[in-house]
Amino acid sequence: MSKRIFIDTNIMLDLLGERKPFYDPIAKIATLAEKEKLTMVVSPISFATVNYFLAKYENSQIAREKLRKFKIICEICSLDEQTIEKGLNSSIRDFEDALQYFSATESDCSIIISRNGKDFKQSLLPVMTADEFLKSLTS
């Protein structure tokens, strides 16, 4: 079974929005997922949020096409009543971060990839940037 990594919304936006200087590391991770060397797991919340920003700064057709292509190389986790309940009762301050965290744990991910590690201070999973994750693969 390949390594399952949870992709936070900001990392997904880095990739699909081609945001420099963050694009290259996540593009390399996406290539690994495309080659089935690992599994990228993403929350449905991230799809909605990324669509909003891409449509705002590009256009809605381009945004949807990018999301369609991305969907092919990732797994979308479920966001159900249990996840919402855990998020609502969590000590994680930001509700969206709580939902992301519990989505990652319930999807058997071994790591969270995010540029906002401080948002996951209470995480039992390691939290790394895309660049840190790539470096961990070579060490």
- CATH number, domain of 51, equals 3.40.50.1010
- Calculate the dihedral angle through the C-alpha atoms of 51, 57, 59, 60, rounding to the nearest 10 degrees: 20
- The neighbour count for residue 72, using CB atoms within 10 Å, is 8
For the stretch 75-88, pLDDT in tens is 999 999 999 999 99
Alpha-carbon span 107 to 109, nearest angstrom = 6
Output the pTM of the full model.
Answer: 0.94
Q: Are 3 and 110 in contact (CB under 8 A)?
A: yes
Burial of 132 (0-12, 13-18, 19+ CB in 10 A): middle
Distance, in Å, from the CA atom of 80 to the CA atom of 17, rounded to the nearest integer, reads 28
Q: How many domains does the chain have?
A: 1
139 vs 47, which has greater pLDDT?
47
- E strand intervals along 9-134: 38-42, 74-76, 111-113, 127-128
**pLDDT per position as a tens digit, 38-51:** 999 999 999 999 99
Tell me the pLDDT of the chain averaged across its residues: 94
The range of the structural domain enclosing residue 119 comes to 3-138
